Structure 1
Amino acid sequence: MVVSLGATGDAAGLGSSREPPCYHTFDSLRGPCYSVASRCPSGALRCSEASLRTLGFFVLALLQAQGESADGALGGDIVGLVARSGPLFRVILLILILFSIASWAIVLHKVWQYRLVEAHTARFRDVFRRSNKFSEVQSVCGSLSRSPLVGIFQTGYAELNAQLRHGGDAESQPEGAGVRPTLSSIDALDRALQRAATVEVNRIEAQVGFLATTASITPFIGLFGTVWGIMGAFQGIGETGSTSLGVVAPGIAEALLATAAGLFAAIPAVYFYNHLTHRVKLFVSEMDDFALEFLNIAERNFS
C-alpha cells in the first residue's frame, strides 16, 4: 500500500506561489523506502534529508543481517572453522603444521650445533698454532670433536705418519728432529685432506636441505588448499542459489587459512635456510684455509 503525504497546490492551479508538492512513498511491509520531490525548490532539502535517513536505515539493517550470518558461519575463531571444515582441508592443514614443526626443530638444532662448532673451532685453531708437536694437537682432539678442523687434522696426521719413509712419525716439527723424515707423495696427503673436508661438510650440512624442501613445497600445498576452499565456496553458491556472505564466507575463510598456513611454514624456512647456508660457507672457507695451512707445514717440514 502506498500513501501520499505532503501539501498540494491550489485546486485550480491559478498563479499560486505555493511550493510544488513533495511525495513520500511508504511500503506497508518494509517501512519507508524512498522519497521523490517534484520541482521543490525550497522544500528539496527537507525531502533529501528524509530520503537519506530512510535509505540509511535500510542499508544498516542489511549490513547487520549479513554480519550476523557471517558471524554464525565463521564461528568467530579459527578452531571452529577447522572443526567444521572437510577432511581434505584438515589433511592439508596437518601436513603444513608437520612441515613447520620439523623445520623449527631443525633450525633450533642447527643453531645450537653451529654455536658449538664455532666455539670448538676457535679453540682448536688456537691450540694448533701454539703447539710445537702434532702429538700435542692430537691430544686435544677428543674434547673439541665438534670442530670440522679436528676431522681434517686427524685424517692428515694419519696420512702423514703413513707416508714417512724412515719409520718415524710426525710427532715433532723438524726444528727439534735429528733426522728429517720425508713424504712419499704430497698429492696423496692433499687428496686425504680433501676427502676429510667433504665428510665434514656433509656432516655440517645434514638436514639443512629439508628447509629448502619446506620453503619450496609448502606454498604450493597451501595454494592447493586455497583452490579447494574457493571451489567449496562456489559449490555452496550453486547449491543454495545465494551469493550472501553467509554462504561464501566458510569456503573463502578456508582458502585464506590454507594460504596463511603455507606461508607460515615457508617464510621461516627460507630465511633460516639462507642463514644456515651462509654459515656453512664460512665453515667451508675455514676448512680450506686449515687444509692449506696443514699442507704448507707438511711440505715445508717433511719433503
Structure 2
Amino acid sequence: MDHSANFTIAGIWASTGPFARGVIFSLAIMSIASLVVMAERIIVFRKTRKDSRNFAAKMGAILAKGDLQQAANTNMGKDVGHLGRVIGSGLTAYRISPSDKEVAVESVARALERQAQREVQSLKRGLGILATVGSTAPFVGLLGTTMGIVTAFQLMAASGAGGLGTISAGIAEALITTAFGLLVAIPAVMAYNFLSGWVDARSVDISESSNEFLDVVARHLGGSHTPQA
C-alpha cells in the first residue's frame, strides 16, 4: 500500500474522520470570529482616534482661554471620539454643579472618572474573543491530534500490522489539527496584544486629558464660579 499519496492536503482531508473534521470546522469558526473582531476593532479605533483628535484641536483652543462657559455651551456634535465623550461628561457635570468649589470639583472629577471607565470598557469590547481564541485554539487542535493518534493506533491493532509506515498517514492526519490550531491562535494572540496595548495607551491619554481639564475647572472655580443649570 502506498501511504505517500495520503500526504497531500486533499488526501489528508479525505482520510480525516468525523471528529477531526469537527475540530477543523470549530477552529475555522474561531478563526473567522477572531478576524471579524480584528477588522471591527481596527475600524472603530481609527475612527475614534480621528474624532478625538478633531475634538481636542477644537476644544483645546477654547479651554486654553479658560472659558468654561463657552466650552460647556459649544455643540461639538456626536462624532467626538472617546476623548470628547469623557470631557463632555465633565462639562455637563460642571454646568449642573453647585456653587461650592470643592463639591463642584469633586462632582466633575467623578463624572470624568465614570465616563473614562465606560470608554475603556467600550474600547475593550471583543478583545475577550481574541484572548479566548488565542488561548484555546492550540488545545482544540491538540485534542484533534490526540484523538487522531488514538484512532491510528486502533487501526494498526485491528489490521494486525506493525511499523510506523502503517500508521504514518493517520499520524499526519492527526498532526494537521494541531498545525491548524496554531495557525488560528498565533494571529489572534498577536492581534490581542496589539489592540490591548492600543487601549492601554488611550487609557493613559484619557487620564491625562481628564486631569488637565480638572485643573482648568479648579482654576476657573478659584476665581468666579457661575455655572449654568
For the pair 1:213 / 2:132, whether they are aligned, the reply is: yes
SS of structure 2 residue aligned to 1:142: coil
Give, in angstroms, the shift of residue 130 of structure 1. Answer: 0.9
Tell me the distance in 2 between the aligned counterparts of 1:293 and 1:234: 68
Equivalent in the alignment of 1:122: 53
1:143 partner letter: D
Deviations 1:37-56 (A, max 9, x none): xxxxxxxxxxxxxxxxxxxx
Tell me the distance in 2 between the aligned counterparts of 1:285 and 1:69: 62
SS of structure 2 residue aligned to 1:143: coil
Give, in angstroms, the shift of residue 114 of structure 1. Answer: 1.3
Considering only aligned residues, what root-mean-square deviation do their CA atoms show, in Å?
2.0
Please give the residue correspondences for 1:154-303 in structure 2 after superposition, counting only pairs within 5 Å.
154-165=88-99, 184-244=103-163, 247-303=166-222
Of residues 32, 36, 41 in structure 2, which corresponds to 1:101? 32
2:78 partner letter: G
Deviations 1:61-88 (A, max 9, x none): xxxxxxx61134x1x5323422332111
Please give the residue correspondences for 1:142-153 in structure 2 after superposition, counting only pairs within 5 Å.
142-144=78-80, 147-153=81-87
Equivalent in the alignment of 1:83: 14
Give, in angstroms, the shift of residue 184 of structure 1. Answer: 3.6
SS of structure 2 residue aligned to 1:272: helix
TM-score (norm 1): 0.67
Please give the residue correspondences for 1:42-57 in structure 2 after superposition, counting only pairs within 5 Å.
none
Equivalent in the alignment of 1:71: 4
TM-score (norm 2): 0.87
Structure with more of its chain in helix, by fraction = 2
2:83 partner letter: L
**Is the 1:186–1:299 contact (alpha carbons within 8 Å) kept by the matching residues of 2?**
yes
Gaps of 5+ in 2: 223-229
Give, in angstroms, the shift of residue 207 of structure 1. Answer: 0.3
**Is the 1:164–1:183 contact (alpha carbons within 8 Å) kept by the matching residues of 2?**
no
Equivalent in the alignment of 1:54: none
Structure with more of its chain in strand, by fraction = 1
Percentage identity across aligned positions? 29
- Matched pairs, number: 217
Between stretches 192-201 and 129-138, larger displacement belongs to: 129-138
Give, in angstroms, the shift of residue 250 of structure 1. Answer: 2.7
Tell me the distance in 1 between the aligned counterparts of 2:165 and 2:103: 83
Deviations 1:181-230 (A, max 9, x none): 95643222211110000000011110011111111111111111111111
Give, in angstroms, the shift of residue 163 of structure 1. Answer: 0.9
Between stretches 244-253 and 275-284, larger displacement belongs to: 244-253
**Is the 1:163–1:183 contact (alpha carbons within 8 Å) kept by the matching residues of 2?**
no
Equivalent in the alignment of 2:75: 139
